[in-house]
Structure 1
Amino acid sequence: MCERDNLEAWSRQGGFDWAMNRRRFVAAGALGALAACAPRAEEDAGGLIEERVSVPSPDGTIDAFFVAPARGQHPAVLTWPDIAGLREAFKVMARRLAAQGHAVLVVNPYYRAMAAPQFADFAAFRAQGGFEKVGPWRAALTPDAVMRDATAAVAWLDARDEVDSGRGVGTNGYCMGGPFTVYSAAAVPGRVRAAASLHGGGLVREDDPQSPHRLLDATRAAYLFAIAQNDDAQEPEAKTVLRAAAQAAGVPAQVEVYPADHGWTVIDSPAYDSAAAERAWAAMSALFARL
């Protein structure tokens, strides 16, 4: 899980250059200049459109980033960022996913407290006392609250011209956003058909009746649970519980421990591992290709 011991370990590794990670990431996705300078919503160059949007939810208005191919209709993907929130790194990753043929909505999970970005990047999160700042914001993200937001986000996506509402919706989540993918699938089981949790925390909480593993039988999605090696070392039983819960629920689930540390798929994370990140991206892409 994305907790203080991980940040302390990353600090001991020294500095990191997420701009370099970004360049490697977009190069691996063969997006080149498109990812670095995508056309805005008012432009149509046959590539991508993107815009900052407002999504009405029962708890307020969610500010979010939307990006999609400029032409045609495409299956939607709802993205839940990690603990540092919606920022440039997640826009870059959303553009790559959109270029693969998806309409992607990256929500600000902390909209109840303030608009995004709360932090420019993960280095800023670390330098500015991120855990202290987000603590009360995270407290508001109960399973029920996330499910309300997911329901609102899916409805917003289905109303967009860029979205093919006849196909399923995918969702991906990172770090604290990992369990939100299961909540999303449980909130809108008729629409969410694929969910990818990337180094998600809190997927198995035995004393919680709303633990994500207990909600799988309320969903109709196929799953990818990509687990960090250090998270697995702390909770080695979680992968077994997840596999058993998915089997009991009758939902397909790929549960795999990756040889990389928590945060390895996020391009501005000090733990970013390009080789392992590309493996996880390929698995997620294959999952979403079936929407």
Structure 2
Amino acid sequence: MCDDDIHPGLVQDPSISRRTFGLMTAALTGVATVARADDAVEEKDVEIKTPDGVTDAALFYPKAKGQKAGGKWPAVLLWPDVMSLRPVFRDMGRRLAAAGYVVLVPNLYYRVKKAPVIEGAFNFANPDDRAKLTPMRASVTPAGTFKDAAAYVAFLDAQPQTDKAKKIGVQGYCMGGPLSFRAAAAAPGRIAAVASFHGAGLVADNPDSPHLLIPKTHAQYLIEIADNDDKQDPTAKDKLKAAFAEAGRPAQVEVFAGAAHGWTVKGSQVYNEEAAEKAWSNLLALYKKALG
């Protein structure tokens, strides 16, 4: 969940040099190799028209070199967590692009404010800090997400680097988890893989619950659940598994023992590198299988 009582306290983006940022590609190649993200990836700040305005976003894709010139790759839509587009999610976008994907990371709150929406450290234990997010979170609605997702998928498909012969993946963190479910339902013909990391409110007692959209999708799923989220609502994983089984959608649903909500995002007090790398390897395995 993204509730204040379970979200990590202090969140601050780490200082990561692009020139020292390396990534492991063992999950894709079977061989552990290290690449420099800035040598392998093109990065652009872009604007995308939606029915509700113009989204500011970051786009990443592999640099074309030698025989790779003019190359095309599968696309991925990456929904950030409640603090939206910021350096740590740009780093994720670079890392994923270096693994062979065209990656779009949008600002969740473009209707209210351009990214970064929070400057410096943010403490969820501070009521004044939490209050900064309230009007922004209210701008993200199920109906708006459907419209946004359709626009983002169309944008990705319009990029010359995108291989439209391959399907699209979508992944989300915290509140980005349910956004990923909604995106898969908004573009079922294009999105073939959905990953949620410590997703918030995937199962709810209302007609807008993300898990009710599963039958409308044509995707494989990876659901990575934080230990404390599971303890707060231990039935959620079982409801998800039942929904996937009933809809006939392949899904890996697992709880990361000892990993707290937010464990995959660097800069969080609860960041768990070992568990985060395992989750990342699972993500790459999903995309390799579902997207090619």
The verdict on how the C-alpha distance between 1:274 and 1:130 changes in structure 2, with shifts beyond 3 A counting, is: same
Deviation at 1:26, TM superposition (A): 3.6
**Helix, strand or coil for the counterpart of 2:5?**
helix
Q: Return the alpha-carbon distance in structure 1 between the equivalents of residues 260 and 77 of structure 2.
A: 24
Q: CA RMSD in A?
A: 2.4
Which TM-score applies when normalising by structure 2?
0.88
Q: Which amino acid aligns with 1:104?
A: V
Deviation at 1:223, TM superposition (A): 0.4
Alignment correspondent of 2:50: 57
Q: Which amino acid aligns with 1:105?
A: L
Deviation at 1:125, TM superposition (A): 5.7
Asked if 1:144 is matched to 2:143, the reply is yes
Q: Conserved in 2, the CA contact under 8 Å of 1:84 and 1:130?
A: no
The verdict on how the C-alpha distance between 1:231 and 1:222 changes in structure 2, with shifts beyond 3 A counting, is: same
Deviation at 1:150, TM superposition (A): 0.4
Asked if 1:225 is matched to 2:218, the reply is no
Asked if 1:268 is matched to 2:267, the reply is yes
Q: Return the alpha-carbon distance in structure 1 between the equivalents of residues 271 and 20 of structure 2.
A: 11
Deviation at 1:145, TM superposition (A): 0.7
Question: Post-superposition, which runs of at least 4 consecutive aligned residues in structure 1 deviate over 4 A?
Answer: 20-25, 27-33, 125-128
Q: Return the alpha-carbon distance in structure 2 between the equivalents of residues 240 and 278 of structure 1.
A: 25
Q: Conserved in 1, the CA contact under 8 Å of 2:262 and 2:270?
A: yes
The verdict on how the C-alpha distance between 1:128 and 1:10 changes in structure 2, with shifts beyond 3 A counting, is: closer
Alignment correspondent of 2:198: 199
Q: Conserved in 2, the CA contact under 8 Å of 1:25 and 1:267?
A: no
Q: Conserved in 1, the CA contact under 8 Å of 2:172 and 2:195?
A: yes
Q: Return the alpha-carbon distance in structure 2 between the equivalents of residues 223 and 205 of structure 1.
A: 18
Alignment correspondent of 1:256: 254
Asked if 1:244 is matched to 2:242, the reply is yes
For residues 249-279 of structure 1, give each alpha carbon's deviation from its aligned partner in whole angstroms, at most 9, with x where no partner exists.
1111111000200000011211110000011
The correspondence of residues 49-198 of structure 1 with structure 2, limited to 5 A, is 49-71=42-64, 72-120=71-119, 123-124=121-122, 126=124, 129-198=128-197
Q: Return the alpha-carbon distance in structure 2 between the equivalents of residues 48 and 23 of structure 1.
A: 12
Q: Which amino acid aligns with 2:156?
A: L
Deviation at 1:119, TM superposition (A): 1.8
The verdict on how the C-alpha distance between 1:167 and 1:270 changes in structure 2, with shifts beyond 3 A counting, is: same
Q: Which amino acid aligns with 2:36?
A: L
Q: Return the alpha-carbon distance in structure 2 between the equivalents of residues 201 and 6 of structure 1.
A: 11
The verdict on how the C-alpha distance between 1:152 and 1:168 changes in structure 2, with shifts beyond 3 A counting, is: same
Alignment correspondent of 1:42: none
Deviation at 1:2, TM superposition (A): 2.3
Q: Return the alpha-carbon distance in structure 1 between the equivalents of residues 127 and 45 of structure 2.
A: 25
Alignment correspondent of 2:6: 6
Q: For structure 2, list consecutive stretches of 5 or more residues without a partner in the other structure.
A: 26-31, 65-70
Q: Conserved in 2, the CA contact under 8 Å of 1:228 and 1:257?
A: yes
Deviation at 1:166, TM superposition (A): 1.0
For residues 75-113 of structure 1, give each alpha carbon's deviation from its aligned partner in whole angstroms, at most 9, with x where no partner exists.
000010001110000000111100110000000000000
Q: More helix by proportion, 1 or 2?
A: 1
For residues 145-191 of structure 1, give each alpha carbon's deviation from its aligned partner in whole angstroms, at most 9, with x where no partner exists.
11110000000000000100110000010001001110000000000
